[in-house]
Amino acid sequence: MGIFAVFVVIMLGLLWLFEIVFLDSFYEHMKRNTVKSVANSIMMNMNHEDIAEYIEDISQQNELCVAYVTSNSSALSFDNLQGCKINSLKSEPQQLENYIKLALANNGHYLVEIENYSAQKISVWDYFVFTSDEINLGKELIDITAKTDPVSGISTILLVNARITPINATVTTLKAQLLVFSFIAIILGAIMAWFLAKKISDPIITINQDAKNLIHGTYNTQLKGVTYQEISQLNDSLTYANNEINKAESFKRELIANVSHDLRTPLTMITGYGEVMRDIPGENTAENIQIIIDESTRLTSLVNDLLNLSKYQSNEMKMELKCANLTECINKTLLRYNKLIEQEGYKIHFNYDRTVWSMMDEGKILQVLYNLINNAINYTGEDKTVIVNQIIKDECVRIEVCDFGDGISIEEKEYIWDRYYKSKKNHQRATIGSGIGLSIVKSVCQMHNAPYGVESKLQEGSVFWFEMKIDHIEK
């Protein structure tokens, strides 16, 4: 509001300067330019057959007196002002001759300024009041142009007379008008400034309060009726942040529930089997020990996933790029599932025709492969089949992990890469994931600048894929 008020004051100040302070200067400057322009125009058209009519028209339009004399004795004069000074110069040949000499000495052009003063003062009642003070009656401008035609040898003297009358009465009128205008402008400006300040500040105050509420866990940013684009964009950004925080909080709660379940189940089994082996003779069998080892491995995997995700989010994970055998990495990952294939009847096929080498962090790519294959196994169909394809495309190799389960809906595709998100569908296997595997896949692919994505159709299965640049190929 203060800035708007200052702007109004500045604009009013400029208006006063140009309309009052500098009005005399502008007026005089315009008159000088008019006199010079008319003189030049007449001289350029001097040889025109209708020169007399032209001079009469232009002198009337600009309220000027014009006179010219040529050396062949032709003369014309047009009086459009009372008491033109050029008329008095006719009775003062010596003065006129001096002016002409000045014009010739100044490349044929000279502008005379004559101040008019009088001891008479005209009152508002139209009668004369004599005073000893001199009253400024304005200026007389006389433009003298002397020119000789090089062809005919005829010389021409042109005099253009303009009067700069005092504009005190005009200034007084303008002052009165500007005073009224300034008063009205200040009142209207104050009202408009208050209205605009309120209209702009109210939504900002609301948005600010909503932003503060986010700190305390209140997510209800629903500002309506915003008309200013910037404020609307700010509100949209805050609403987006609000939705993202809501989503993150929801996913985090799911993560805590999932991790709690995942931790509780193996811990319960480890504790139970340990107590059985301790208390019951003959239960210290290889099978029971293997169950404890498997559950411990499951706990270790879950904790490692959580630690890795934390490092990715805090940008603490470092890349160790080297040229590695990507095809061998896939085969190495699939070896981890041999027991699952033997005991539970899963079928995992790897299709490739050549061995591909790529610049990558081998450990992190192994993690990507493990998460994608494990995800496919968890959600595959009744046939328990998972297919891994290695497809060479120009300078890139595309790795696809395919399952034949229920597929992913369009709504879910938007969230599956988010941290903490886990599909609500039932797993094929009796295991529960933490929902961070695909988030790790996303982070690793982004670190490698590797494109990634998913293609899925409901009831037909899903294809998760990523691409790496090829360093070289072995046949």
pLDDT of amino acid 434: 54
User: Considering its fold, how many domains does the chain have in total?
Assistant: 3
**Can you give the CATH number for the domain in which 287 is found?**
1.10.287.130
**H or E segment and range at residue 79:** none
Write down which residue in 290, 317, 344 finishes a domain.
Answer: 317
Residue listed under structure tokens 């610049």: 359
pLDDT(400) > 90: yes
Sheet-wide strand order for 385-393:
347-351, 385-393, 396-403, 461-469, 452-457
Cβ atoms of residues 426 and 298 within 8 Å? no
Q: What share of the chain is helix, strand, coil (3-state, %, to 5)?
A: 50, 20, 25
Asked if 157 and 45 sit in the same domain, the reply is yes
Q: What is the pLDDT of residues 316-325, one digit of tens each?
A: 677 889 999 9
From the CB of residue 365, how many other CB atoms can be counted at a distance below 10 Å? 23
How far CA 38 is from CA of 130, 141, 276, 394, in Å, comes to 37, 13, 121, 80
pLDDT of amino acid 70: 74
Q: What is the pLDDT of residues 22-65, one digit of tens each?
A: 777 777 788 888 888 888 888 888 777 788 888 888 888 888 88
pLDDT of amino acid 331: 92
Q: What is the pLDDT of residues 181-202, one digit of tens each?
A: 777 877 877 787 777 777 767 7
**DSSP structure class, residue 175:** H
**Can you give the CATH number for the domain in which 413 is found?**
3.30.565.10
Give residue 401's pLDDT band: very low, low, confident or very high (50, 70, 90): very high
CA 356 to chain centre: 45
Provide the domain limits for residue 45: 2-166
pLDDT of amino acid 186: 77
Residue 170 phi/psi, 5° resolution? Answer: -65, -45
| Structural domain includes residue 395 | yes
The better pLDDT of the pair 349, 280 is held by 349
pLDDT(229) > 60: yes
| Structural domain includes residue 203 | no
Asked if 91 and 150 sit in the same domain, the reply is yes
Write down which residue in 97, 131, 166 finishes a domain.
Answer: 166
Q: What is the pLDDT of residues 107-124, one digit of tens each?
A: 888 888 877 655 444 443
pLDDT of amino acid 349: 93
Asked if 86 and 219 sit in the same domain, the reply is no
Write down which residue in 275, 298, 317 finishes a domain.
Answer: 317
The better pLDDT of the pair 424, 196 is held by 196
pLDDT(388) > 70: yes
Asked if 297 and 344 sit in the same domain, the reply is no
